[in-house]
Homo-oligomer: A and B are copies of this chain.
Amino acid sequence: SMNPDLASERQTASFSVEKLTAWLDGGAEHTQIRRAVVEAIESDPVFSRENQYFQSQNERYEAAVRKGVHLQKKMHEMGWTENGPESKYIYRALSGDVAFSLHRVFKRSIWVLGSDKQIAKWIPLASQYQVIGTYAQTELGHGTYLQGLETTAVFDVTTQEFILHTPTISAMKWWPGDMGRSATHTVVFAQLYIHGKCYGVHPFIVQIRSLQDHSLCPGITAGDIGPKMSFEHADNGYLMLQKVRVPRENMLNKFCEVQPDGTYVTRGSEKINYFPMTTVRISIILDEVIIPLMKACTIAIRYSVVRRQSKLKPGEQEAKILDYQTQQEKLLPQLAAAYAFLLINNYLQELLDRAYKEIQRKNFDTLPELHACSSGFKAMVTQYSTSAVEICLRACGGHGYSLLSGLPSLYTRILASCIYEGENTILFLQTARFLMKCFMAASAGQPIPPSVTYLAAVKPGKCPAKSKLDFLSPDIYTEAYQHAAVRLISSTAAKLQDLIQSGVKKYDAWNQCTVQLVQAAKAHCHYISVENFAETVEKLETKPGIQKIMKHLCDLFALHGIFSNAGLFLHDGYLSGAQMDMVTASYLDLLAVIRRDAVPLVDAFDFTDKSLNSALGSYDGHVYQRLYEWAQKSPTNKQISPAYEKYLKPLLHNSLSKL
């Protein structure tokens, strides 16, 4: 049976949900593979997340290890391989609660940074889980700024060993996943010293736990860093090294080597060092950010047509809360953003594929653009999505605040994505640095990469829109975004130049512009997202049913951005106040249009109830029944609390005489 309020929403879809799903998956054949993977994972009781909201950190760690170990068996059983078509759906289907994700980073870093000999030795061991690895870069006192790392690796020419050491407490490795309790080995980043001279940060393989009994190796102090806002299942750890010796061949040496006599040799391009970081940054966007956002939208939108509150019209039944304009204004822009980001993810994947092909041909020219794009979009998508998930949570009122809604755990986890793999402000500033360079190059008539060619063709002027309907034209709003981005980039470049010309030191001038540089980078990314969405919609000619609804979502994404950042468009009069009123009117009209298809639009994401793990978001809409049933399973209802005997009984002891 289905809640009738939710059922009625599905009868009026303006498009085929199944076709939209297939399009989102990149073809019906992919949908089939995805569903098969999800089915295989969800039907296996080891992978159940049923009790997730009731488990302690210890219980979740244990379950994650169990799942991690079981996954190897499962993959073998199912014939799934690490590079097979199923692979991209496996971790999604597990919803991330599985151990050994840092083990994968350990392997990848050996692939990229290790010599053929090192790869031949370590990769088979790691692939068969005969060692469990992690990746120890961040220190207690040092994050993004790698040059600041304090851990040392001193080459001892007499024994042909490196002596790894943690000189201060702030040099302790801190945060690596799988390190607190699981890993036997780790890649450690440390400052290389040879004959007293520092050669900068290099990676070393270090064993930290015995393969016999898992006890810590001599000189190793390691443990768990304790509770975090989420990732309870992960044993993020710390590591202190007390003059730990590793053989010379444990330095990963594809790009540089210490020879037996202590001679330091580098080889190959160091630019390529950024490539793995960039791929990781792109790879998290879908599974860790966009999918959680899609889940949050699914939960909040389904709940908003089941929940009724107050009367919209006198004499009628209480209204579905999604019929309130304010509720539409909370949720529907987040839904449009989820679609926009799915398309941005495709854009980044294409950019990455192109760059990878060039790299194969030893052409590294595309790397700066790829780096700037992946940094900016990682920052934009994580920041926007985090705030969007919070909006979804709050839009569900009190019930959204219950862990059983699934929304708090989506929020606390997605929040971390703003911090890991590059803190967002720093990433935006990297994009901004690229934009400044390109703007200068464009001004000097030099060639610039494809994604920023718009900087070369600056058109001043005013927006030509004359009615609210004009703002449903992609040309109109795309140009407005482009104009705003150019204005912010050029005015910040001018401020930077002015400061330097007035005698301010370059680094001071940069610091004094960083608030505006971040704004400029955001505006650039926002523009590219809107343009990419509009272009994708245009190419959908052969799928008119989908094209129409995607066009609405694209319009909403664009107009929501203008409405919410009005100052950027009004500042130099590109949009007038009267035009902004037209934007607002069109924006509010769109909310009512998309509201009709809101449920089919989240149904198309095709999440199973198990993957949502939400009492509010299930397909059948039996919200209240499920909240009540799930609450029964809470450990808080499993026994009479000792608090009664210990504290309440003595307090209440003489009540009976009085009542």
Q: Are B398 and A214 in contact (CB under 8 A)?
A: no
Q: Are A224 and B631 in contact (CB under 8 A)?
A: yes
User: Which of chain B's residues have a CB closer than 8 A to the CB of A420?
Assistant: 398
Given contacts A226-B53, A404-B226, A635-B58, contact A507 B312 (CB under 8 A): yes
A645 smallest CB distance to B (angstroms): 9
Q: Which residues of A404-442 have CB atoms within 8 Å of chain B's CB atoms?
A: 404, 408, 412, 415-416, 418-420, 423-425, 429
By CB atoms of chain B within 10 A, which of A228, A512, A516 has the most? Answer: A228
User: Which of chain B's residues have a CB closer than 8 A to the CB of A58?
Assistant: 635-636, 641
Q: Are A573 and B577 in contact (CB under 8 A)?
A: yes
Complex alpha-carbon distance, A140 and B308, angstroms: 11
Given contacts A130-B659, A659-B125, contact A634 B515 (CB under 8 A): no
User: Which of chain B's residues have a CB closer than 8 A to the CB of A568?
Assistant: 566-567
Q: Are B227 and A643 in contact (CB under 8 A)?
A: no
A132 interfacial contact with B, CB 8 Å: yes
A151 interfacial contact with B, CB 8 Å: no
Q: Which residues of A320-336 have CB atoms within 8 Å of chain B's CB atoms?
A: 323-327, 329-330
A572 interfacial contact with B, CB 8 Å: yes
Given contacts A130-B658, A635-B57, A643-B181, contact A649 B226 (CB under 8 A): no
Q: Are A644 and B418 in contact (CB under 8 A)?
A: no
Q: When each residue 302-327 of chain A gets 1 if its CB lies under 8 Å from chain B and 0 otherwise, what string results?
A: 00000111101110001000011111
Q: Which residues of A598-648 have CB atoms within 8 Å of chain B's CB atoms?
A: 624-625, 627-628, 630-637, 640-644, 646-648
Q: Are A415 and B397 in contact (CB under 8 A)?
A: no
Q: Are B397 and A416 in contact (CB under 8 A)?
A: no
Q: Are A238 and B401 in contact (CB under 8 A)?
A: no
Q: Are A397 and B412 in contact (CB under 8 A)?
A: no
Complex alpha-carbon distance, A62 and B636, angstroms: 11
The answer, among B214, B314, B508, for a CB contact under 8 Å with A644, is B214
The interface-forming segment of A10-18, A78-86, A168-176, A471-479 is A168-176
Q: Which residue of B lies closest to A512 (CB)?
A: B325
A511 interfacial contact with B, CB 8 Å: yes
Complex alpha-carbon distance, A129 and B145, angstroms: 57
By CB atoms of chain B within 10 A, which of A130, A307, A314 has the most? Answer: A130
> What are 9 A-B pairs at a CB distance below 8 A?
A56-B56, A125-B659, A130-B652, A131-B659, A180-B636, A229-B401, A229-B408, A229-B412, A515-B588
The 10 closest A-B pairs by CB, nearest first: A566-B567, A226-B634, A130-B655, A224-B636, A229-B408, A567-B567, A570-B570, A227-B403, A65-B643, A226-B631
Q: A172-B624, A567-B567 are in contact. List 12 more A-B contacts (CB 8 A).
A: A53-B227, A65-B643, A131-B655, A148-B310, A211-B652, A223-B637, A224-B634, A313-B505, A325-B512, A330-B425, A394-B419, A565-B567
